[in-house]
Amino acid sequence: MNSKSNLKKLQEEGLYRELKSIEFIRGKDIYIDGENYINFTSNDYLGLGQLEFNIQDFSEFMNIYSLNLSSSRLVSGNSVIYEDLECAISNWLNFKECLIFNSGYDANLAIFNIFKNENILIFSDQKNHASIIDGIKLSGLEKIIYNHLDYEDLEENLACYANKDVQKLIVSDSVFSTNGNIVNIKKLVELKNKYNAMLLIDASHSLGLNIFENYQNVDILTASLSKAWGAHGGIILSSNDIKKLMINQGRALIYSSSLPIYNLYFIKKSLQYLLEANHRREKLTYLSDYFNNRFKVLFPDQVFSDSPIKNITFNSLDIAKEVHDMLFENRMFLSYLRYPTVEKTTLRISLSYFHDEKDIDKLLELINQYYQGEKNV
């Protein structure tokens, strides 16, 4: 392996990445090198991750349950707080069982691992999250990739295996993290029932936003808790048998230390806030609609989304970088996505409860000014 050669190639292709040092965030502002920027990169859609907490309540909680059990959940790390939370979450989302993981990524690695030696064929959306892709790859399960949100393509593939003795598993994100597209869960449920399949949905970017009425008839629901939930961790909601299999065969659960107790405290508090955050959800929905109404007028050739995740795609890597850098100079911080994260260079815009109309107006006006002078955007 020639590390220097690989790094040089990444730099030459404009695909080299570096970590950016962040000092702190406060509301919609993110502070970098002593300067504040309007933050359009956060997944904390409802702003729950920045809510203040009661120091005395936190201290009392820690005194009762200790700081850290420092063990795998399967040994001595299974705090009673885990069990209380899992019961509350499964009741809220109307699933039989819930299991908390250290991250949403770990959850997706674990769920596919339990099917490793089963006769299962996976039907996975082309643009599913990397954790789903890696989970399937590590499981060694056979897979068919269907075109993004193309339900006719999915059905054609399902029909090819309609009479074969194999368990079919349809897998999709609920909201896709790079383009903000929203899946039609009702259509997936219809196909699941028609072809006697199971359905797994990764709800990381929809959980808590009320984008869907419910997740009825979804067999397995996975999610990160670091998006609208405003905490850190991951969950899998499922049947009792699936939970038991994960405890016995889910390597990401078995061979990881449990979360520190203070982390469970914040998951618990964020759940309480999440259930009472209707006004935050309403504002976020308003901002999303406001963005779309402006966006469709200024950029009719671009595709808009009904989720808080917006994006602008570019035919040129160089132009995308110029726009990103121009916005940064104007105190706007956006996600700059390149291959292999996306097929087409993208500036991702993540809206949150903290933004207002003026932030959106300024952002779109700056992009439009550049857009008017370039035909390759």
CA-nearest of 363, 368, 251 to 310 is: 363
Tell me the two tokens of residue 324. Answer: 């990103």
Per-residue pLDDT tens listing for the chain (377 residues):
688 889 888 888 888 888 999 999 999 999 999 999 999 999 999 999 999 989 999 999 999 999 999 999 999 999 999 999 999 999 999 999 999 999 999 999 999 999 998 999 999 999 999 999 999 999 999 999 999 999 999 999 999 988 778 999 999 999 999 999 999 999 999 999 999 999 999 999 999 999 998 899 999 999 999 999 999 999 999 999 999 999 999 999 999 999 999 999 999 999 999 999 999 999 999 999 999 999 999 999 899 999 999 999 998 889 999 999 999 999 999 999 988 888 889 999 999 999 999 999 999 999 999 877 654 44
Element (H, E) at 198: strand 197-202
Write down the pLDDT at residue 376: 44
Distances (CA, A) of 153 to 132, 159, 194, 218, 343: 20, 10, 15, 20, 20
Give φ, ψ of 364 to 5 degrees: -70, -35
Length of the chain, in residues: 377
Strands 167-173 and 35-39: unpaired
Q: Where are the CATH 3.40.640.10 domain residues in the chain?
A: 55-275
Burial class (CB in 10 A: 0-12, 13-18, 19+), 156: exposed
The structure tokens 């989302």 sit at: 93
Q: Could you identify the residue written with the tokens 């009661």?
A: 54
| Parallel, antiparallel or unpaired: strands 346-350 and 309-313 | antiparallel
- The CATH code of the domain at 55-275 is 3.40.640.10
Q: Are strands 167-173 and 335-337 parallel, antiparallel or unpaired?
A: unpaired
Separation of alpha carbons 198 and 201, rounded Å: 10
Continuous segment of H or E residues that includes residue 35: strand 35-39
Rounded Cα–Cα distance for residues 197 and 157 (Å): 12
29: left (phi over 0), alpha (psi -120 to 50) or beta: beta
Residue 170, token pair as written in the block: 């349809």
> Please, where in the chain does CATH 3.90.1150.10 lie?
3-39+278-372
CA distance linking residue 127 with residue 147, whole number of Å:
8
CA angle 17, 23, 42 (to 5 degrees): 65
Residue carrying the six token digits 């919609």: 28
CATH of 3-39+278-372, picked from 3.40.50.620, 3.40.190.10, 3.90.1150.10, 3.30.497.10, is: 3.90.1150.10
> Do 107 and 161 form a contact (C-beta atoms < 8 A)?
no
- Count the helices and strands in the chain (H runs, E runs): 13, 14
Spatial strand order of the sheet with 197-202 comes to 97-101, 234-238, 220-224, 197-202, 167-173, 120-125, 142-146
Roughly how many angstroms between the first and final C-alpha of the chain, as a whole number? 36
Please give the pLDDT value at position 377: 44
| pTM score of the predicted model | 0.94
Kindly list the distances between the CA atom of residue 249 and the CA atoms of 98, 112, 236, in Å, as whole numbers in the listed order: 16, 10, 14
Answer whether 230's CB lies under 8 Å from 270's CB.
yes
State how far the Cα of 143 lies from the Cα of 129, in Å rounded to an integer: 15
Sequence-distant (≥ 6) Cβ neighbours of residue 351 within 8 angstroms: 40, 45, 284, 287, 288, 291, 308, 309, 310, 360
Q: What pLDDT does 375 receive?
A: 42
Strands 167-173 vs 120-125: parallel, antiparallel or unpaired: parallel
pLDDT at 1: 61
